[in-house]
Amino acid sequence: MPIFQEKARILKNQRVAQGVWEMRLQAPQIASAAYPGQFAMFRVRDELSPLLRRPFSFSRLNTADGTFDILYKVVGQGTRIMSALSAGDYLDILGPLGRGFRLPPKHAREIWFLAGGIGIAPFFGLLDMLRQHEIGFNITLFYGAATGEELVRCEFFEQNNCTVNICTDDGTCGFHGFITDSVERTCTLTSVPDYFYSCGPHPMQQRVMEWAKCNNLQGQMSMETMMACGVGVCLGCSISKNFFAGEQKIETGYLRVCREGPVFTIGDRT
Ligand SMILES: Cc1cc2nc3c(=O)[nH]c(=O)nc-3n(C[C@H](O)[C@H](O)[C@H](O)COP(=O)(O)OP(=O)(O)OC[C@H]3O[C@@H](n4cnc5c(N)ncnc54)[C@H](O)[C@@H]3O)c2cc1C
Ligand code: FES
């Protein structure tokens, strides 16, 4: 797949929830080559500091307009600089990068989306992709945040016929507790997904992996690691993988999240 470097024009950059911003960029080459679950590396300003580009997932892709959106949480120097930019400013962007979401298997009808915090970002584009394929999926979103004010655009999923289950750590909205508690409670013999997609912080993803293994479920998980190059060269984003022959573990190897991921099929990493 081609990778492009573009000077992308910012069309809008606005706060959409507590600490969360949405940016729309005009970058026709990247927007037309990208698919949901992939990401791009942003050079946040034309100076030596911060030195490294920052990775962000595409939240929505609009090929016809040559634009894409990202949702980002302000957590440090790079994202603070981004939040101060305005429409008409430009950013140097490299993308699309990595392997994104794949369609579910044909038999899958009940599909669950599990999104923790800013891990909601790639689900907007994923939902667009599944709806474009016009398959009669029943989609249930489990979306967890620290507090109600951090929730982003839940109405998008409701308007697109998803069942939406909100969870907050402080109980200000929806189920009081972690998303993984809500998922485990809902997953019973009578309510079990045929397939799931998951994106969120590392501890959540660990529990999702255990839940999937215990219930023998299939799905795809978008993993996050610190990244330096984003193109498979520095090995800074590597995660371990066990290789099995039947039940027996024969080797432990490594996968680069920026090249073999960030989206892994359950089974890629076990
Ligand atoms: C493939 C991929 C896709 C991503 N997509 C999104 C997205 O759509 N929206 C979004 O808000 N963020 C996303 N991130 C995380 C985002 O890249 C970091 O939050 C960002 O680089 C922080 O930059 P900073 O300069 O503001 O923070 P820094 O000053 O670099 O760090 C501030 C704090 O953020 C933490 N941090 C830095 N990088 C990461 C990281 N990669 N993962 C988790 N914590 C980090 C640091 O540990 C530190 O505590 C993604 C990361 C990856 C690897
Ligand atoms: S970030 Fe350099 S190899 Fe993945």
Q: What is the mean pLDDT of residues 170-175?
A: 96
Write the pLDDT tens digit of every residue in 228-256: 999 999 999 999 876 555 556 656 788 99
CB atoms within 10 A of CB 158: 12
DSSP 218-260: -EEEE-----SSSSSSS-TTEEEEEEEETTEEEEEEEEETTTT
pLDDT for 240 equals: 85
Domains of the chain with bracketed CATH: 4-97 (2.40.30.10), 101-209 (3.40.50.80), 223-270 (2.10.240)
Task: Give dist(CA 119, CA 197) in Å, integer.
Answer: 11
Ligand 2 centroid–CA 229 distance in Å is 5
Specify burial of residue 151 (Cβ count, 10 A radius: 0-12, 13-18, 19+). buried
| ipTM, two decimals | 0.94
Residue that is written with structure tokens 């489990």 in the block: 142
Write the pLDDT tens digit of every residue in 89-133: 999 999 999 999 999 998 899 999 999 999 999 999 999 999 998
Q: Which atom of ligand 2 is nearest to the CA of 258?
A: 4
Ligand 1 centroid–CA 162 distance in Å is 28
From 51, 235, 255, 260, give the residue whose CB has the most ligand 2 atoms within 8 Å, as the site to mutate. 235
CA-based nearest residue to 97, from 56, 139, 61: 56
Ligand 1 binding site (Cβ under 6 Å of any ligand atom)? 39, 50, 54-57, 70-73, 75-79, 118, 121, 224-227, 262
Question: Percent of the chain beyond pLDDT 70?
Answer: 94
Whole-angstrom CA distances from 191 to 7, 46, 215 are: 47, 51, 12
- Per-residue pLDDT for 145 more than 60? yes
Write the pLDDT tens digit of every residue in 176-227: 999 999 999 998 867 889 999 999 999 999 999 999 988 999 999 999 999 9
Q: What is the mean pLDDT of residues 148-168?
A: 96
Ligand 1 centroid–CA 190 distance in Å is 38
pLDDT for 187 equals: 86
Buried b (16+ CB within 10 A) or exposed e, 87-102: eeeebebbbbbbbbbe
Phi, psi of 252 (to 5 degrees): -115, 130
Task: Give dist(CA 223, CA 183) in Å, integer.
Answer: 19
Ligand 1 centroid–CA 55 distance in Å is 7
Q: Which atom of ligand 1 is nearest to the CA of 78?
A: 25
